[in-house]
Amino acid sequence: MTEITDAQWARMVAAGLWRKECPDVRDQLRRVEMNYLGFDGKVHRGVLVVNADVTASVIRIFTRLFEAEFPIRKMVPMEEYDGDLNASLADDNTSAFNCRRPEQINAPFKESPHANGRAVDINPFENPWKDLRTKQWSPSGKYAARTPGKGKILEGGVVWQAFTDEGWIWQDIKVADYMHFDTGYPSAPYTGPKPKGTPSQSPIPGGSASAGATPAE
């Protein structure tokens, strides 16, 4: 885990990952490098950019996934895609921090879990979301059915268990968003796993209590 260097921050800003209307998280972000098992069965080195307050949790979670041999397709920072969410999703890239472009966002910038570095999207192709604007599966509906499969996230499965044990919320939105975990909406400092039986979030109007009931992105 390292702080974001001036050089990386310059690349992130140039790619549009941060703009003046985004949360002021420059000093809070950390670059986390870790091993993951690829779909090819080989060990690869990946990078996630997350908030400092979730780094220990993220490392614990992905260590569990590595030890469980859960495959991840790719894990590179969003500047590799010029901040384009759709390009990252189409490439099946696992990612975290991104103050998304206005046309690619579901929550206000300041409150967004992704824009605050407290959300992770895993294997988007195997775990798509239902785009609120188009009502279509993104990046593809090929694996939308929640049946067992390589790289898929299922309730009660290894990925779901690893995140929820740390107090993260799966599909923190009112539509299906199988790739997405975050620590709550509106995004606030992460304080660790909540005691068993403690509600993760209070639902807001229009949400679904069973899915976290918040317009996260």
The secondary structure of the chain, three-state, reads: CEECCHHHHHHHHHCCCCCCCCCCCCCCEEEEEEEEECCCCCEEEEEEEEEHHHHHHHHHHHHHHHHCCCECCECCCHHHHCCCHHHHHHCCECECCCCCCHHHCCCCHHHCCCCCCCEEECCCCCCCEECCCCCCEECCCCCCCCCCCCCCCCCCCHHHHHHHCCCCEECCCCCCECCEEECCCCCCCCCCCCCCCCCCCCCCCCCCHHHCCCCCC
pLDDT of residue 207: 28
Question: pLDDT value at position 33?
Answer: 97
pLDDT of residue 1: 84
pLDDT (0 to 100) of residue 123: 98
pLDDT in tens, the chain (217 residues): 899 999 999 999 999 899 998 999 999 999 999 999 999 999 999 999 999 999 999 999 999 999 999 999 999 999 999 988 999 999 999 999 999 876 666 666 789 999 999 999 999 999 999 987 788 999 999 999 999 999 999 999 999 999 999 999 999 988 899 999 999 999 999 998 876 655 444 332 222 222 332 334 4
What's residue 6's pLDDT? 95
Predicted pLDDT of residue 76: 96
Separation of alpha carbons 97 and 119, rounded Å:
7
Q: Give strand pairing partners of 196.
A: none
